[in-house]
A and B are shown apart, each in its own frame.
Chain A
């Protein structure tokens, strides 16, 4: 991503953001709420376009692609959504088979074998006949992961993969991200708040704040960092460069205005 600017309505998210992701590595993108973590994934997936700047993959500018070219490009991507985004009217097997049936001309016998292999990879071959409503949050996330890898993508994007999971499911999901990345030789990018889980899994961590990359390095480097923002974020401290209050006029200003309004009435 080069010189990327992006804003939602009047709220600027990125201001001249420059960040790249290493091929074959697991990169964690972290930052406070509203720092633009998920926006990065949406920019990479072409779901949104930057107001300025370039988002490219292997020299191909994603934000310049036409509608049809974008869909061609997405065949190289897999994405795990925060809550799985499984199709609620399809069972586990059909959810994983969906991209294969839509994007390939494989016979149903081959699709069946592939789906069972993908489900076996995430440990849910025995749950193939269950409906999404019968799955726990962790299981749904694993089914979604099996679906994301169904077409053997080159890059997998994970949106908050650990949110709402118990410690065992968190560990399983983290382990899956790591193992899939190494076994399939893919590039993995995940956004998360979970310091412990992400530091165990990631090769590299990118910290975002105020529309910029504030820090970047291996988990060990960030733990050892003396940067005040990194120390506050990694240590989960209340005091630090990230303020508790959202930027606004002073409370005195606001209260005076209210008093004046009352007097006027």
Chain B
């Protein structure tokens, strides 16, 4: 019984390492075939439109609501200490350091990541990728690389837009609706946010999340079993794996960036 359990555990570990190796080799191949995005920038622009521009609505609306909630919660807490002017700092720090990169990455995985996986998976199912290969056109370069870079570039931009609209939401609810002093809101925010420590670290997080989510999305699409059920499972795996990867990476990055390691 113990031998059987250990054997299946060992098998699962070896299987996971093997899959990680396959995925890494796939991503390495995509990266080494990326010169096409410089030679034919139109392909990249189309993918940035697909992954980034078409995700704008969900990012803007979500950012706005997250900012509204942060503003309300922050105001209610800070009111007890008579420091409601610091609500701008609270909203901005929460968004720039954490919520902006993390929530936008989760939304990006759900909207764009799933769409990328589905598109590649369906192309595989309908033999479009095979047809491309037989025309001597490498799908890693022609299809997957622009999709990967489109997602990778869009992600930090979406995180920045999310944070900007979140701050706007916080401003609207605390300054315009509740009546907190606007000067205090902006000046305290400006005084307490450090470009390198807060904004740059937030950008680095969103870049890392962009790499992770885009890699997972293109790999799951390419590795999908070429059936309707296979593509559906691949899309689910993209969303679940991306969410877990983003949260785990966020913990690791936060530990190193803001506490100097745990």
Contacts and interface: CB of A to CB of B under 8 A. Distances in A.
A111 to B, nearest CB: 14
A98 B135 contact: yes
Identify which of B128, B131, B133, B135 gathers the most chain A CB atoms within 10 Å of its CB.
B135
Contacts of B127: 81-83, 85
B138 interface: yes
Contacts of A85: 126-128, 130-131
A193 B135 CA distance: 25
Interface of A: 45, 47, 71-72, 74-75, 77-79, 81-83, 85-88, 98-99, 102-103, 144, 147, 151, 157
Contacts of B136: 71-72, 74-75, 99, 103
A47 B130 contact: yes
A202 B135 CA distance: 25
Contacts of A45: 133-134
A13 B133 CA distance: 23
Contact of B133 (A47, A82, A83, A86): A47
Nearest to B142: A102
4 closest cross-chain pairs (CB), A and B: A85-B131, A85-B127, A74-B136, A79-B134
Contacts of A71: 133, 136-138
Contacts of B142: 102
- What range describes how many residues of B lie at the interface? 10 to 19
A86 B122 CA distance: 12
Contact of A79 (B128, B131, B137, B138): B131
B128 A99 contact: no
Interface in B106-121: none
B20 to A, nearest CB: 22
24 contacts: A45-B133, A47-B130, A71-B133, A71-B136, A71-B137, A71-B138, A74-B135, A79-B134, A81-B127, A81-B131, A83-B127, A85-B126, A85-B127, A85-B130, A85-B131, A86-B128, A87-B131, A88-B128, A99-B135, A99-B136, A102-B137, A103-B135, A144-B131, A151-B135
Contacts of B134: 45, 47, 74, 77-79, 157
Contacts of A144: 131
A102 B126 contact: no
Given A83-B127, A85-B126, 8 more contacts: A71-B137, A74-B135, A79-B134, A82-B127, A83-B126, A99-B135, A151-B135, A157-B134
A86 B131 CA distance: 8
A52 B128 CA distance: 28
B135 A102 contact: yes
A103 B137 contact: yes
Interface in B123-157: 126-128, 130-131, 133-138, 142
B22 to A, nearest CB: 16
Nearest to B135: A99
Nearest to B119: A89
Nearest to B137: A102
Identify which of B127, B128, B131, B142 gathers the most chain A CB atoms within 10 Å of its CB.
B131
A181 B138 CA distance: 27
Contacts of B126: 83, 85, 88
